[in-house]
Amino acid sequence: MLVKGSEILNKAHQENYGVGAFNFVNVEMLRAIFEAADHAKSPLIVQASEGAIKYLGIDMVLSLVHTMSKRYPHIPVALHLDHGTSFESCKKAVDAGFTSVMIDASHHPFKENLELTKQVVDYAHSKNVSVEAELGRLMGIEDNISVDEKDAVLVNPDEAEEFVKVSHVDYLAPAIGTSHGAFKFKGEPKLDFERLVEVKKRTNIPLVLHGASSIPQSVRQAFLDTGGDLKGGKGVPFDFITESIKGGVNKINIDTDLRLAFIAQVRKMAQENPAEFDLRKYFNPGIEAVKAVIVERMQVLGSADKI
């Protein structure tokens, strides 16, 4: 059943577990995500970026998600706009039937971020849709970073408190050292958990971890075995994910792991069966691999067996 984002995340916030927010760009990824949630008995957030909406068309995004949520009526699912860049983009998603939107104005000065977020919150709440906002910049931090440099890029807990109080945003993504993609950290993985705990204490709302792919060994190996190049790429280790949830994160954004798992299977098929050109023979192993990644992750996040 399609529900608003805060219905899923407020429960996770009260009961201290994480819910995966999985990106999709096609029917195969969406099928894998729903089939995994069904298998793991987990609530679900599916998210489409502006790029995904451009690729599929917003009407297709909605109809695919409606179809899947009718197929699995027992799964509470929120449809979320990932990294909305303007009021107009968020309004379009709300009007089309998304049940959650993110306004990503974190690159603006604090006051402008707050004003734009408030504008989105006012509109979205009038239509019973939840809102996520972001504070700080998404980037990895190094061991030798100075306190001043850290303060300049990561979330400021005082600002987070004021931001939530004034904007009435439903959930907040505080930058604590993650970044998107396969190259999150320059050195060893490092997150500012102390800052996270402080933000949770001051805001007491669900928090969001962007760039939360872990690139576990099985995903890395399958990608490398089929000729993939990951260079020095690494993800957020599972124990960091668990620690983040303990510190108050409830929405965990995952895209890269799913892309890597899917593409490895497509590549394997192409290498092993050069004469094959039935698309389904390529995509089915991809769907199965993505499903396995998500089922395992739902167990790590603690959302498995919550429905």
Q: Is 259 in the site for Zn ion (CB under 5 A)?
A: no
Q: Is 139 in the site for ligand G3H (CB under 6 A)?
A: no
Tokens standing for residue 141:
């931090």
Among 4, 210, 220, 268, binds ligand 13P (CB under 6 A): 210
Q: Given candidates 51, 57, 73, 181, which one binds ligand 13P under the rule CB under 6 A? A: 181
Q: Is position 134 an interface residue for ligand G3H (rule: CB under 6 A)?
A: no
186 scored as a contact of ligand G3H (CB under 6 A): no
Binder among 28, 35, 38, 82 for ligand 13P (CB under 6 A): 82
Does residue 82 have an active-site annotation? Answer: yes
How is residue 192 written in tokens? 């500012």
Under rule CB under 6 A, residue 254 binds ligand 13P: yes
Is residue 132 a contact residue for ligand G3H (CB under 6 A)? no
CA–CA distance, 6 with 199 (Å, rounded to integer): 18
Say which amino acid occupies 304: A
Please select the residue that binds ligand G3H; options are 28, 134, 170, 255, rule is CB under 6 A.
Answer: 255
Which stretch, 143-151, 243-251, 253-261, 293-301, contacts ligand 13P (CB under 6 A)?
Answer: 253-261
Q: Which stretch binds ligand G3H (CB under 6 A): 48-56, 69-77, 108-116, 183-191?
A: 48-56
3-state secondary structure 26-74: CHHHHHHHHHHHHHHCCCEEEEEEHHHHHHHCHHHHHHHHHHHHHHCCC
- List residues binding ligand 13P (CB under 6 A): 23, 82-83, 180-181, 210-213, 253-256
Catalytic positions, please?
82
